[in-house]
A and B are shown apart, each in its own frame.
Chain A
Amino acid sequence: AQRVTQPEKLLSVFKGAPVELKCNYSYSGSPELFWYVQYSRQRLQLLLRHISRESIKGFTADLNKGETSFHLKKPFAQEEDSAMYYCALDAGGTSYGKLTFGQGTILTVHP
């Protein structure tokens, strides 16, 4: 069975500082990895997926199959980045859509 681990429950940084939210996964196949974000009083929404290799709101995430990691990074954090972030894995095949989520990391960006 697959598993997603986000080791940091809380992460605090100051505005303008770099931020990295860690995500490690365990799965023997080739998963699809996602980052979802939940801003205060908003719905949980997709931030980015590894397959798209894009930067959203300045965030990037690289899938490292050797280290089974998918860390989310942003070089200069902004106060509006404060939110709950979830890393998620889709095992694919007949498990499509059955996302396995990590425990979540609450990011707080201080002014």
Chain B
Amino acid sequence: NAGVTQTPKFQVLKTGQSMTLQCAQDMNHEYMSWYRQDPGMGLRLIHYSVGAGITDQGEVPNGYNVSRSTTEDFPLRLLSAAPSQTSVYFCASSYLPVTSGKAGELFFGEGSRLTVL
């Protein structure tokens, strides 16, 4: 049981380049999300998904795109990288609390450190 797997762990891009951060989970979680972690800012939600084919924006969605074609995968695309997107990116997943009525525990990936020059 690998949990949440993110690739790549490290990436350096030039301004204007595009790339995709991959995220996969094997826990059959309905909910998946992407956060970015910046010093002094904590973690901020970029995009999230409550199931295959359903995505929505979080707090800081500009410059990022997501899709959810399967329950397992939730890739994050940077359309045209900018230095402001230099950050550590975390993918997380959880069950939806549809039956328990309480928030589920988020399971995080190891993170992907992105540098945009």
Contacts and interface: CB of A to CB of B under 8 A. Distances in A.
A98 B32 CA distance: 10
B55 to A, nearest CB: 13
A26 to B, nearest CB: 15
B108 A97 contact: no
B108 A86 contact: no
Interface string A93-106: 00011111111100
Interface string A1-26: 00010100100000000000000000
Contacts of A49: 103, 105
A32 B103 contact: yes
Contacts of B43: 44, 86, 99, 101
A51 B110 contact: no
A92 interface: yes
A99 B41 CA distance: 14
A84 to B, nearest CB: 9
B42 A97 contact: no
Contacts of B33: 97-98
Interface stretch (B16-24, B67-75, B89-97): B89-97
B77 interface: no
A101 B42 contact: yes
Nearest to B50: A97
A103 B106 contact: no
Interface string A23-56: 0000000001010100000011110010100000
Interface string B42-80: 111100101000000010000000000000000000000
A9 B103 contact: no
A99 B103 CA distance: 9
B106 A46 contact: yes
Contact of A9 (B40, B45, B102): B40
Interface string A68-87: 00000000000000000010
Which 7 A-B residue pairings sit nearest by Cβ, starting from the closest?
A90-B103, A101-B43, A101-B42, A44-B108, A103-B42, A97-B31, A32-B103
6 contacts: A43-B109, A51-B102, A96-B96, A96-B97, A96-B104, A100-B45
